């Protein structure tokens, strides 16, 4: 009986040991699965952060490659004092005297590179110019629009509203684009010498008036034989002094 009881006790212990071993194996598998599942979102998040961080410098580089419009007029590595006014920013010298030379402190705009007389790159420099506003410059220092609608041969002589722009190498104060009233000075291509020659030679047939575009007067001279010579002589004098001009109101060449 004692031996039978001992065998049963050993079988019970073996069963308990087998159950505990299986339980430990199952708990180890579950822990590995949990670790794998938790590590997957972290790796995905790391990949998303990495991809975002690599894209950020691309957009910054694209923004930095934009070239300002004024760079077209700005020469590279030229003398700073000879840069066009659009390439620099200058401080107004309120102590300058009108019509007198003055010195202005200037600084190059971004992306502009220039050097001094010793070929050293610099950003701050001085510019010498005459103390006057842009609209006070000489007529040779700016370019204005022309008008083909006003009459140049009129009394008093007509004016028109023009828009003027200062030349690139000229420095001045104020706006570089300004309005100005100018005299009508456009030409339609008529030559004074041709009109005078036609008036002297063929004026009796109205050739001078036809050339100037005055068809009615030309027909009148043609059918009246130059007003029996009197109209012809008068036209020679009027064209000679420039009183009679083209019919479109333009000036002679």
pLDDT in tens, 230-249: 999 999 999 998 888 888 77
Residue 64: count of CB within 10 angstroms of its CB: 7
pLDDT of residue 154: 64
Residue 133 is predicted with a pLDDT of: 92
Tell me the C-alpha to C-alpha distance, in Å, between residue 43 and each of 32, 55, 226: 16, 18, 105
- Token code pair at residue 28: 């180890």
Q: What is the pLDDT of residue 10?
A: 61
Residues 177 and 143: their CA atoms lie apart, in Å, by: 10
Whether the CB-CB separation of 157 and 250 falls below 8 Å is answered with no
pLDDT at residue number 149: 75
pLDDT tens per residue across span 59-73? 444 444 677 888 888
Q: Where are the domains of the chain?
A: 71-131, 142-183, 192-241
Give the tens place of pLDDT for each residue, 96-145.
898 899 999 999 998 888 888 888 888 899 888 899 999 999 988 999 98
With vertex at residue 63, the alpha carbon angle to CA 58 and CA 66, rounded to the nearest 5 degrees, is 130
């Amino acid at each position: 009986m004692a031996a039978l009881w001992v065998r049963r006790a050993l079988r019970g212990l073996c069963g308990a040991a087998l159950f505990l071993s299986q339980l430990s194996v199952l708990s180890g598998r579950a822990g590995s699965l949990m670790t794998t599942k938790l590590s997957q979102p972290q790796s995905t998040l790391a990949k998303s952060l990495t991809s975002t961080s690599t894209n950020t410098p691309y957009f910054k580089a694209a923004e930095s490659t934009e070239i300002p419009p004024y760079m077209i007029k700005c020469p590279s590595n030229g003398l700073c004092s000879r840069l066009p006014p659009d390439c620099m920013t200058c401080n107004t010298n309120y102590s300058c005297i009108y019509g007198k030379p003055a010195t202005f402190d200037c600084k190059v705009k971004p992306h502009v590179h220039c050097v001094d007389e010793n070929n050293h790159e610099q950003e701050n420099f001085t510019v010498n110019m005459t103390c006057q506003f842009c609209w006070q410059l000489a007529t040779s220092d700016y370019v204005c629009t022309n008008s083909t609608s006003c009459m140049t041969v009129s009394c008093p002589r007509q004016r028109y509203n023009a828009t003027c722009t200062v030349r690139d190498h000229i420095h001045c104060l104020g706006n570089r684009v300004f309005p100005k009233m100018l005299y009508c000075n456009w030409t339609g291509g008529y030559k004074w010498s041709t009109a005078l020659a036609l008036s002297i030679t063929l004026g009796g047939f109205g050739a001078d008036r036809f050339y100037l575009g005055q068809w009615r007067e030309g027909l009148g001279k043609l059918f009246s034989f130059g007003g029996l010579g009197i109209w012809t002589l008068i036209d020679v004098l009027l064209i000679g002094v420039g009183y009679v001009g083209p019919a479109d109101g333009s000036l002679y060449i």
